């Protein structure tokens, strides 16, 4: 049996999927009175819910056009590209929007340690009712 | 091969899990200036993200203590128990909260047609960049 060389990473695999902007779809998103929409981030591999952030229209456009997840930080009042500092980047695989247009679902390939600044893979690492406040089971 | 009778539903399977309230955990949830926290609802079976709703403290307590998912309707300004009218109920299996305490993840068994009032199983049935605005793939 001959060895096969590992496949060269495609540009999509290494950079995330550039979805592109369709104006009609963007117009279907209803930003709240702060100009924000909640964005659920889900692992495209095992479907774990990793985090929830907020996007304004510009952050959503950046997410759709760069292949990376962009958010608006309410506390810092600035844009942030997930993992740009930590290296724990999210490569966009798909972006969905809900029936009312008031929530977004970003399916990503999570690089590095995970999505959470605590070092946990998911920000939802704690379950109600669990005595330790830190459930062993994974969040999906 | 003999036929096996279907297992009788356990009280938990038919009614949802009563998680119960731990005050310290409830106090870790940071409701926004409207008194609300976004609640992501995920199918506990196949991990699909079904919908996003909002809970105030009372709706969260009801969700933790009744085994059903409760939300605060911003448009109608009233509590609603998912599926109480439609029959498309959500039986709670687990409730998680995130690192900052400003988002909740409810893992449920979705009954009936699904979570969306359009008849789709998930409210996130549309993908950006898809020409039809209605992607064939499931949202996780």
pTM: 0.87
User: Distance (Å) from the C-alpha of residue B87 to the closest C-alpha of chain A?
Assistant: 19
Q: Return the pLDDT at A15.
A: 87
Tokens at A35, concatenated:
């100009």
Size of interface A-B (CB pairs under 8 A): 134
Q: Which of A4-8, B32-36, B102-106 has the lowest mean pLDDT?
A: A4-8
Q: Return the pLDDT at A131.
A: 63
Q: Which residues of chain B make contact with A40, given a CB cutoff of 8 A?
A: 40, 49, 52
| Dist. CA B21–CA B25, nearest whole Å | 8
Q: What is the pLDDT of residues A66-106, one digit of tens each?
A: 999 999 999 999 999 999 989 999 999 999 999 999 999 99
- For every residue of B100-119, DSSP letters joined together read TSS-EEEEEEE-TT-S-TTS
Cβ–Cβ < 8 Å for A44, A65: no
Taking residues A95-120, report their average pLDDT.
97
Domains of chain B in start order, with CATH, are: 3-126 (3.10.20.810)
Cβ–Cβ < 8 Å for A60, A104: yes
Other C-beta atoms closer than 10 Å to the C-beta of A129 total 16
Q: What is the pLDDT of residues B5-38, one digit of tens each?
A: 444 444 555 689 999 889 999 999 999 999 999 9
Q: What is the pLDDT of residues B53-91, one digit of tens each?
A: 999 999 999 999 999 999 999 999 999 999 998 999 999
Q: Which residues of chain A make contact with B116, given a CB cutoff of 8 A?
A: 98-99
């Amino acid at each position: 049996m001959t060895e096969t060389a590992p496949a060269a990473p495609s540009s999509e695999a290494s950079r995330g999927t550039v979805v592109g902007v369709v104006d009609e779809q963007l117009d279907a998103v209803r930003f709240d009175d702060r100009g924000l929409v909640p964005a659920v981030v889900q692992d495209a591999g095992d479907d774990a819910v990793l985090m929830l952030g907020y996007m304004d229209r510009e952050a959503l456009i950046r997410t759709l056009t760069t292949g990376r997840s962009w958010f608006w930080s309410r506390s810092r009042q600035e844009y942030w590209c997930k993992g740009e500092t930590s290296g724990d980047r999210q490569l966009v695989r798909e972006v969905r929007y809900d029936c009312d247009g008031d929530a977004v679902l970003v399916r990503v390939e999570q690089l590095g340690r995970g999505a959470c600044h605590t070092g946990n893979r998911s920000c939802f690492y704690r379950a109600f009712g669990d005595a330790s406040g830190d459930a062993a089971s994974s969040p999906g």
